[in-house]
Amino acid sequence: MLNFILGAVTAIVALISIGLVVFKVFRRGALLFEVEGFYTHVMDGDPGPIIRDVQRDATALEQCRIDDPLSCAIRDAVLCHQQEGEPECNVLLLSGGGQWGAFGAGLFDTLSRQSGPDELALANIGVITGISTGSLQTLMLMVALDPKQTPDMRRYALDRLVWGYSPEHESDVVNNTGLIKVPLFGSAAGTAPLRKRVIEALAPAGDYRLVEAIGASSVAGYAGFVEAERGIFRYADLRELVNKARNMEHATEALAAATMGSSAMPVFHQQLRVAGTDGRPLSLYDGGVRRSVFFDRAMALVDREVRAGMAQRGIMKTDTVTQEAFAEEYRLNAPKVYVVRNGPTARKPDPRLNTSSGPLKNGQRGYDLLVNESEIGAIAALRLSNPYGEILLTTADQYDTFPSDVGENFKKDEMFKPAFMARLRDLGRYKAERDGGPWWPLSRL
């Protein structure tokens, strides 16, 4: 009996040891970027006065720095917009959405082709912010929407954008092992292929002209993410990552690090670390997890600058200035804000989620709550920070109902399904070409 017990214990210990070895071998760990000086150009994002009020009793929070790059870019856009005879300097906000970013790629590609020989898909953009898939779009659109670039350069940037969202196989983008293997691998998908693809999109075969154009762009661009250690929302100045890099190869790595840091959705995607000059690695989580997108950040800055300018000109809500007159003056002095929701705003009904349960289905429901609802709420909340300005929205809704014979209008567990992404690119084309165009306004308060 004693020998049997000892044998059983030995067998159990052996199985545990084998299991630990397998776990150590297969667990992905974090993908590492080593970018010199990366954190020099990464700033803590101000949550805005409302969220600071909510968090008053939490921890000591830094107040908004008016001299940070995003604040300065927004201020410049407002001042530019208010000058007579000057072009408008508007703001473009790009949401996350993974493969749904193919919608935005198709949209801007078509808008560019419709715009005539200049190939300027959207005129008068001064600031772009992007989260997750929107951060990759930001890199390309900083060039594609820059009037100081040549038409050929703008077309090249859009071609690289479309290429990025046109994989032949899902494995070109991620190594999708599925949610069921998360305990073994640590994530549902490895992102080493994505790293390679982002770099190839930016600098195919070592051609760095697109990276150089990003650094020289007249359009300010920012990518947002959340730092794991402190849970703080941060954003990177994309032009500075290029202009302060040692060379274009290092600049490309820095841009890829910012984009992938913004896209590293916990549990679903392999986590990512960026080691800066101090050699201390920091995990960067996806901005969509904590803040959805930094819409509210940009909107609060627009509101503050517009009201300050109006106050200097003596335009205040008084007995002699009606609410309607004040709202119209506000609208005239605020830059337009274009918002691209790279995804749907309503989930398709799925009876299986109501009739059966399990960790995978529950996880999918949690993901829907976390991502879809937070992004919808963030878009709606734009009006709280900017009550009277023009806010123009487009979304990837109608992806399964619009008239098209391109690709497939459904997906299962694929994170990047080529046929579905082809359908989304065609949806972008359809909305750009339909009567009235792709944009519609949010109602004013």
Domains in the chain, CATH or no CATH each: 34-56+65-348+369-441 (3.40.1090)
Asked if 382 contacts 339 with a C-beta cutoff of 8 angstroms, the reply is: yes
User: Lowest mean pLDDT: which of 62-71, 134-143, 378-387, 428-437?
Assistant: 62-71
% pLDDT > 90, the chain:
39
Tell which residue, 396, 386, 212, has the closest CA to residue 298: 386
Report, as an integer, the average pLDDT of 263-284. 74
Tell which residue, 176, 181, 111, 108, has the closest CA to residue 140: 108
Strand 440-441 with 125-131, pairing: unpaired
Which of 143-152, 230-239, 274-283, 352-361 ranks highest by mean pLDDT? 143-152
Query: At residue 155, what is the residue type?
Result: R
Hey, which residues does 18 pair with through a beta bridge? none
% pLDDT > 70, the chain:
78
User: pLDDT, tens digit, for every residue of 168-204?
Assistant: 999 999 888 877 777 777 777 888 899 999 999 999 9
